[in-house]
């Protein structure tokens, strides 16, 4: 044959259905020895080698992958989920979402809810699961930098520290020496904050950090407003994400200052907001679509693995996207 043999070729050679070949390939006990022998003989004659992951996926209970997110309103999830869908599509796997905030009034974990629905695997893209117990029968991959990641799980994340350094170095290269980092809570914000402080200090720049609570536009607004009041000579703001950057810009403009003529603003995450003609925000692209693709692909491999493997950590390199909100400091 000029192409690799398929399961259909084996079914045709053995004179059986495609589904019966699939049952043989996953050692289903419901197949008679006569038919099993015929299928294995046909496979040997054709040189057919089953895809282990595909064979196991073909026999899963629901053909559904669960994804746990923090909040549907967070634009960080948009490209990540696109990447997950892209990786699952070739396997015919469905995607179901669970939001930790949507059912916060219920005394149940969204992870446990998904497991109870007998999903074939879970992409854990939310925080707040320090005591999570993962059933041995449910493969789980963590997407994104998270605090309290349960031990023994694969993690796929953007290199948050490298992204923060890109933002800090961009402002330093422009000549800014009075830079405020507006931040919030959670694993990604923590890593970005630590890397920003270290990079600024290494350049002899006093690290100025403001903000607490959720990484929202309100937190970005309030943190920047306090920073401007305490440090009227500041010339740049690095916000922990693009949503916070919107709040920072609002605070700068409310103070009668211009962006970027008086104060430069840079965000993080390359959300659809950043590229809008109205905002044109300089930001860091963490390539969350690639994070989603790799997380979902790793989950499929876990589902199809013959035996458990050691957990892995995969980091996706970020990149800087320069637009209209950053410029050299005013003279």
Helix (H) or strand (E) holding 299: helix 288-304
Q: How many CB atoms lie within 10 A of CB 85?
A: 18
pLDDT at position 103 is 63
What 3-state class would DSSP assign to 196? helix
pLDDT at position 138 is 87
Looking up tokens 């270290």 gives 198
Q: How many CB atoms lie within 10 A of CB 242?
A: 26
Cα separation of 141 and 153, whole Å? 6
pLDDT at position 111 is 84
Token duo for residue 3: 């192409």
pLDDT tens for the chain, 331 residues: list them.
557 888 888 999 999 888 788 778 767 667 888 888 999 999 889 888 776 556 555 555 678 999 999 878 888 999 999 999 999 988 888 999 988 876 665 666 888 888 888 899 999 999 877 777 788 788 999 999 988 777 889 999 999 999 999 999 999 999 999 999 999 988 899 999 999 999 999 999 998 999 888 889 999 999 999 999 999 999 999 999 999 999 999 999 999 999 999 999 999 999 988 999 999 999 999 999 999 999 999 999 988 776 678 899 999 999 999 999 999 998 7
Cα separation of 145 and 254, whole Å? 33
pLDDT at position 249 is 98
pLDDT at position 286 is 97
Cα dihedral angle (12, 17, 19, 24), rounded to 10 degrees? -70
Provide the edge-to-edge strand list for the sheet that holds 121-125.
94-99, 64-69, 121-125, 140-143, 154-158, 313-316
Token duo for residue 292: 């989603």
């Amino acid at each position: 044959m000029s192409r690799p043999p398929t399961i259909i070729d084996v079914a045709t050679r053995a004179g059986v259905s495609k589904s019966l070949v699939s049952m043989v390939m996953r050692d289903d006990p419901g197949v008679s020895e006569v038919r099993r022998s015929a299928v294995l003989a046909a496979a040997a004659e054709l040189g057919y080698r089953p895809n282990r992951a595909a064979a196991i996926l073909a026999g899963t209970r629901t053909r559904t992958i669960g994804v746990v997110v923090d909040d549907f309103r967070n634009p960080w999830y948009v490209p990540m989920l696109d990447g997950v869908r892209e990786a699952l599509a070739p396997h015919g796997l469905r995607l179901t979402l669970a939001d930790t905030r949507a059912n916060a009034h219920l005394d149940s974990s969204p992870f446990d809810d998904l497991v109870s629905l007998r999903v074939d695997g879970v992409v854990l893209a939310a925080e707040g699961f320090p005591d999570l117990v993962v059933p041995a029968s449910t493969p789980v991959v963590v997407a994104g930098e998270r605090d309290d990641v349960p031990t023994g799980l694969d993690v796929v994340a953007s290199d948050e520290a490298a992204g923060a350094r890109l933002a800090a170095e961009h402002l330093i290269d422009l000549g800014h020496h009075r830079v405020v980092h507006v931040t919030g809570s959670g694993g990604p914000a923590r890593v970005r904050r630590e890397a920003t402080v270290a990079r600024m200090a290494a350049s002899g720049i006093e690290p100025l950090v403001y903000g607490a609570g959720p990484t929202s536009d309100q937190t970005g607004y309030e943190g920047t407003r306090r920073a401007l009041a305490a440090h009227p000579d500041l010339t740049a703001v690095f916000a922990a994400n693009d949503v916070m950057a919107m709040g920072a810009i609002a605070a700068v403009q409310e103070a009668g200052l211009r962006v970027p003529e008086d104060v430069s603003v840079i965000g993080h995450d390359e959300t659809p907001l950043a590229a809008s003609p109205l905002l044109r925000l300089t930001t860091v692209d963490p390539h969350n679509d690639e994070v989603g693709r790799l997380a979902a692909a790793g989950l499929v491999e876990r589902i199809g693995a013959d035996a458990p493997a050691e957990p892995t950590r995969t980091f996706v390199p970020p990149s800087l996207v320069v637009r209209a909100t950053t410029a050299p400091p005013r003279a």
